[in-house]
């Protein structure tokens, strides 16, 4: 199955291609010639994912999916939330976001946080939404060198290690994105017309 993933982020593309497997041909925005800066102006993760997927479907008329991810920190009243990717400003780097987050968390005893990923799939014109959640905490300093984004400062409860300390393989077993992608994968498998009673015709 050929699907467009509404992103050019090489880290996300690599993770998603690894999780979905070789039976799915995942194309990037670059692969379909889309150079647009797709708007993300919704007030929820689901809304942003739908906005991005709809943009591609309406203009390129192909099956596609998009995601949006938010880090919600309890001591910061749920921030950065929908602004996770641009927490330190419109042109910020991932490092800028981490610096701002750790600064705001200085002296905070409660370091509980939740990472959420929402995926919107548009398949043959029909919209489907999948959500993945992982609970954890914000570390006091960066740990690990793998991963991207907030991975060096988010430690899921299951391991106590940050995502950046785990390596991609371990992260993909428990991460918020992995859980949402697994739901997407299960849905795509169940939707295959050639599948009947678990066997391909």
Alpha-carbon distance 12 to 5, whole Å? Answer: 9
Residue of 25, 37, 67, 68 with catalytic role:
68
β-pairing, 195-196 with 154-156? unpaired
Q: What is the DSSP string of 150-200?
A: TGGGEEETTTSS-HHHH-HHHHHHH-HHHHHHHHHHHHHHHH-TTEETTEE
What is the largest distance, in Å, between two alpha-carbon atoms of the chain? 61
Q: Say if CB 86 and CB 98 are below 8 A apart.
A: no
Q: What is the DSSP string of 121-150?
A: EEETTEEEEEEEEEEEEE-SS---SSSSTT
Given this model, what pLDDT does residue 33 score?
Answer: 94
Please state, as a whole number, how many other Cβ atoms lie within 10 Å of the Cβ of residue 128. Answer: 16
Given this model, what pLDDT does residue 160 score?
Answer: 87
Given this model, what pLDDT does residue 194 score?
Answer: 52
Tens place of pLDDT for every residue, the chain, 201 residues?
A: 899 999 888 888 888 888 888 888 999 999 999 999 898 899 999 999 999 999 999 999 999 999 999 999 999 999 999 999 999 998 899 999 999 999 999 999 999 999 999 999 999 999 999 999 999 999 999 999 988 899 999 999 999 899 999 988 888 889 998 999 999 999 998 887 554 334 333
* Residue 31 falls in the annotated catalytic set: no
Q: Say if CB 150 and CB 97 are below 8 A apart.
A: yes
Q: How many CA atoms lie within 13 A of 123 on its CB side?
A: 15
Given this model, what pLDDT does residue 12 score?
Answer: 83
Given this model, what pLDDT does residue 50 score?
Answer: 97
Which residue pairs from 39-45 have beta carbons closer than 8 angstroms and sit at least 24 positions apart in sequence?
A: 40/68, 42/82, 43/82, 44/82, 44/118, 45/69, 45/70, 45/82, 45/116, 45/117, 45/118
């Amino acid at each position: 199955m050929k699907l467009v993933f509404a992103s050019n982020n090489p880290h996300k593309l690599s993770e998603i291609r690894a999780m979905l497997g070789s039976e799915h041909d995942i194309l990037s925005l670059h692969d379909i010639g889309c150079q647009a800066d797709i708007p993300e102006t919704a007030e929820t993760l689901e809304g942003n994912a739908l906005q991005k997927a709809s943009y591609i479907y309406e203009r390129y008329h192909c099956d596609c999916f998009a995601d949006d991810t938010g880090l919600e920190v309890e001591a910061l009243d749920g921030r950065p939330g929908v602004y996770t990717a641009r927490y330190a400003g419109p042109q910020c780097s991932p490092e800028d976001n981490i610096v701002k987050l750790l600064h705001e968390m200085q002296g905070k005893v409660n370091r509980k946080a939740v990472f959420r990923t929402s995926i919107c799939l548009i398949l043959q014109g029909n919209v489907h939404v999948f959500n993945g959640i992982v609970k954890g905490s914000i570390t006091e300093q960066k740990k690990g060198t793998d991963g991207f984004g907030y991975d060096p400062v988010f430690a899921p409860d299951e391991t106590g290690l940050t995502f950046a300390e785990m390596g991609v393989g371990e992260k993909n077993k428990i991460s918020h994105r992995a859980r949402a992608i697994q739901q997407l994968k299960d849905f795509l498998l169940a939707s295959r017309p050639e599948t009947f009673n678990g066997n391909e015709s």
